Each structure stands twice: as structure tokens, then as C-alpha cells.
Amino acid sequence: MTVVVRRFRTADEPAIERLNGRLAAAGLPHRVGHEDSRRGEERRLDTEPIIQRLYVAAAGEEIRGGIWLREQLFWSEGRPVRVGWTVYPVAESLIDGKAAGVPASLLFSLLRQEPHLMALGMGGHAGSFAKILAAARWAGSSLPFFFSLLHPSRVLRRLAYARTTRLRRMLADGLAASGLAWTANKLLIGASAVMRGRPARQCTYSVVDRFDAWADHLWERCRDSYGFIAARDSRALNSLYPESFRCLTRLRVQSSGRDLGWICARSINALGTRLERHFGNLRVGILTDGLAHPVHVTEVMEAGFRYLVDDDVDLIVTYQSHPAWCAAASDIGLMRGPSNCAFYRSPAVEDLLTRAAAKDRYCHLTRSDGDGPEPV
């Protein structure tokens, strides 16, 4: 099958709906979207901090796949770098072997547009698109995952993963009823406290509706401490987390009136959301994003942790890539678990990461990178 990868056109909408119909008829949930046809001019990074554009794979009158290119500025080696994320690739190859070349065609077309290209999530390394990226010799790793069980017995009785088989249900119910889960959890948290040697300094935090000049000053102080980090000035943050985005809390963390950092926290009832298959009907606390100088990361994460504890969540989770943020997660009592969040990057991005790491500067990514924060 010969396809041409190009920008989305309003006239493509009927063909996209036909593709979506074929995918639905095969019982698949994946869909190709379309851009807002009311936008009259091309979006540009010099006027917007984050832009998204849809590319489609066209074969004659039909659309055989689509992929979004999400572009933004990162900071690396003391300068801004334009990067792109591959977002939500969908191809008819999922149901028709004749379209097997469509995903690779979409990928290489985006690479010509943006050499600094990355992908995050994808359900882990076993996903079909992740396998294509690995075959293209992209570097791949997993974004580290951390968790803390605040109500272990409740979690074991409700956590979907712990109840997928009869044996797991029996083990989970037995641990919950015996109190062993609570004891083991406290022992693990206590061991973490001993290993870190000292508690985090208690800081104050305040809930803010938006990011203002204080966030810009913090960004300018912190950015060169990281080797590769998405622009986190107020302009970018208010685009990523607008005031209308009410399903997360922005926390400004201070000590003696001095800004140490900020952290975003979310409390979600998993039931009825896309998190339900992982967390059942638990109340999940998520530390989604944050910024601080590496020496102050533990204080900032501890503030976010306290906020979620006070909000009475059942468990707290976070994804972090930077060594200081990973260490801070352990310092405040979170345990590391298996991650299903794959991170793949093109050779151009891997070169930036390698050069930064040689200078003890590392990549700072969270689960809010890539596709952006989930609306649930």
C-alpha cells in the first residue's frame, strides 16, 4: 500500500470517520481525531508555548492512519531547544496487514519535520508503536514509578491488579484481614526513613490558581541545574495547566518566605475513569509535575505528599526521571514499583541527554510530559 503522509485538511474528515468506523467494527477503541477547522492560521511556537498538529497517511481517497506532533521548547546546555512528541499514533495496520508500513511512514515523516522527537507512555515497551521505535534504533527506557499505600488493607481489597485471578484475590483478602499488609507497609516506610538519615525540612505550601512572576524567577534559577527539561516558565505552565483545569491542585512551596519550588497534585476517584482498570474504585493521589533546584526537591515533594495525605487518598503515585526526584520519592517513603511508562527518543535527543549526563546534568520528565496531563 502506497501512502503519502501530509498535514491534516478539513476535507479529510469524512475519510477519517470511515477509518474510525472500520476500527470500531473490528472492536478496537483507537480513533484518529481532527484539528479544529475554525483555526484560520498555522500555530507557531513563537506565539504559543505548546502546539499540536495532526498528520495523516493518505492512500488515494482514504486515510489509513494519523499521528499528532506536539511541539514545545526544552532547555538544554544553556539554550532553548525545539522538540516534538509523537502523540496518539493510530494506523489501519491494527486490522489490515496491507497497511503494515503506515506507522513507520508516519514516524519518519515526523522525524523530517522535527529531528528532536520523543515518545512517552504507549502502555510500555510491548506496545506496537514502541516496538517500531525500538526497531528504528531509538534509545528506550522506562520512566521510574513510585507509590505509597496509605490505606494498605483498603488498597488490597480494591486494587484491580491484585484481584485479576482467584489466587490473587485470596492472597489480597488474607493480607488485608490479617493486618500483615499494614505492618509490612509501615516497616518499609520506616526502613526508608532510616536510609535517608533525616526528615525533610518542613516547608509551607499554598494553593495557587495560576503561575505568575514567582514561577518565572524560580525557572530562571533552576533550569541550568537540569540537562534536559521542558520549559516551565509561567507562560508554558499556564498553557499546560490553565485555570479552567480544575482537576489538579497547584502548590507553591516556600521556606521562610522564599520560593523553593512548586508541585502539582491530583486526587482522583478512579471509578469511572481510565484509571479504573488499574486502581478499581480507589481514591488515588498523583504527584504529577514539579520544579525545584535539585537540592530542594525532597522538601517540595514532601509538601505535595502532605497535601495528598490530608486529602485522605488511599495511595499516592508518581513518575519521575531525574535522579534527585527519584531519590526524593524514596526519601519521603515512596517505594519503587514496575513501570509501564516507556520513554523513547530519537538519536538527536539521545545525543543531548548523553552530553548533559557527562556534566552531571540529567533529564527531568514526569507523566505530564508527552501527551500532557490527562483530563480525568
Q: Residue 142 has what pLDDT?
A: 95
> Cell 495511595, residue?
315
> Cell 499528532, residue?
68
Q: Residue 91 has what pLDDT?
A: 93
Q: Which fold has domain 145-337?
A: Aminopeptidase (3.40.630)
Hey, what's the cell of 203?
Answer: 516547608
Residue partners of 86: CB distance under 8 A and separation at least 6: 67, 68, 69, 107, 110, 117, 118, 119, 129
Q: Residue 282 has what pLDDT?
A: 85
Residues in the chain predicted with pLDDT less than 70, given as ranges, are 37-41, 156-202, 270-278, 280, 374-376
Q: Which fold has domain 4-114?
A: Aminopeptidase (3.40.630)
Predicted TM-score (pTM) of this structure: 0.84
Residue partners of 239: CB distance under 8 A and separation at least 6: 48, 49, 50
Residues forming CATH 3.40.630.30 domain(s) in the chain:
145-337
**Cα distance between the two ends of the chain:** 38
Which of 280, 270, 271 lies closest to 162, judged by CA? Answer: 280
User: How do beta strands 145-149 and 204-208 pair?
Assistant: unpaired
Q: Residue 167 has what pLDDT?
A: 39
Residue partners of 264: CB distance under 8 A and separation at least 6: 241, 248, 249, 250, 251, 287, 288, 289, 290, 304, 368, 373
Task: Write b or e for each residue in 233-266: b if 16 or more Cβ atoms lie within 10 A of its Cβ, otherwise e.
Answer: bbbbbbebbeeeeeebbbbbbbbeeebbbbbbbb
